[in-house]
Amino acid sequence: MATETATVNVVTADALLKSWQGHRRLTRRVIDAFPEEKLFQFSVGGMRPFSEMAWEFIRMAVPIVDGVATGKWEEFNKGEKPTTKSEILRLWDEQTAALDKKFPEIPPHRFYEVDKAFGQWEMPGIITIQYAIDNEIHHRGQGYVYLRALGIEPPPFWERD
């Protein structure tokens, strides 16, 4: 790669947070598009229901940002596994606010520093954060198939406001 382009900064920390929160607004709409019962019980091909995927996103987002920020990797401990859509959405909104507060507290050097996330996954902080975002996009896409299979029009992919 031409050196000039190779090293150019294309994403700043605040741009990454904005992009992630845009994805999270869309994911929230996907959660909300499911009828209560289907959110917890419906799936295709023997996969998990979408409530389990949403619960995974909740357990990853803030604990990963905390781990990258502090080097302390602690499992999500802000609530039990939700059993209703409103409880998922309440936890979701709490984590959204926590992300806005905590992400800016990541010390700049920690984005590059290699650490072992949750004692298992060894990579630079930015790669761990990007993995959480990509994982959310990946499984949310699966939620779109569930909604289509239920005859429900999913929210537009390109709307992030």
Tell me the binding residues for a divalent metal cation: 139
> How far apart, in whole angstroms, are the C-alpha atoms of residue 131 and residue 122?
12
Question: What phi and psi, each to the nearest 5 degrees, are found at residue 74?
Answer: -120, 135
Nearer to a copy of itself, 88 or 136 (CB): 136
Nearer to a copy of itself, 35 or 157 (CB): 157
In which element (H, E) is residue 14 found? helix 13-33
- Counting Cα atoms < 13 Å in the Cβ hemisphere of 4 gives 0
122: tokens are 């060894």
Sequence-distant (≥ 6) Cβ neighbours of residue 87 within 8 angstroms: 79
Q: Least separation, in Å, of the C-beta of 154 and a copy of itself? A: 10
Nearer to a copy of itself, 108 or 119 (CB): 108
> How far apart, in whole angstroms, are the C-alpha atoms of residue 95 and residue 47?
25
Q: Least separation, in Å, of the C-beta of 74 and a copy of itself? A: 21
Q: Which residue has the tokens 């909300």?
A: 32
Report the binding-site residues. Answer: 139
Residue ranges binding a copy of itself (CB under 8 A) = 1-2, 4-17, 19, 23, 44-47, 103-108, 111, 126, 130-131, 134-135, 137-142, 144-151, 157-158
Q: Least separation, in Å, of the C-beta of 28 and a copy of itself? A: 16
Q: Least separation, in Å, of the C-beta of 144 and a copy of itself? A: 6
Length of the chain: 161
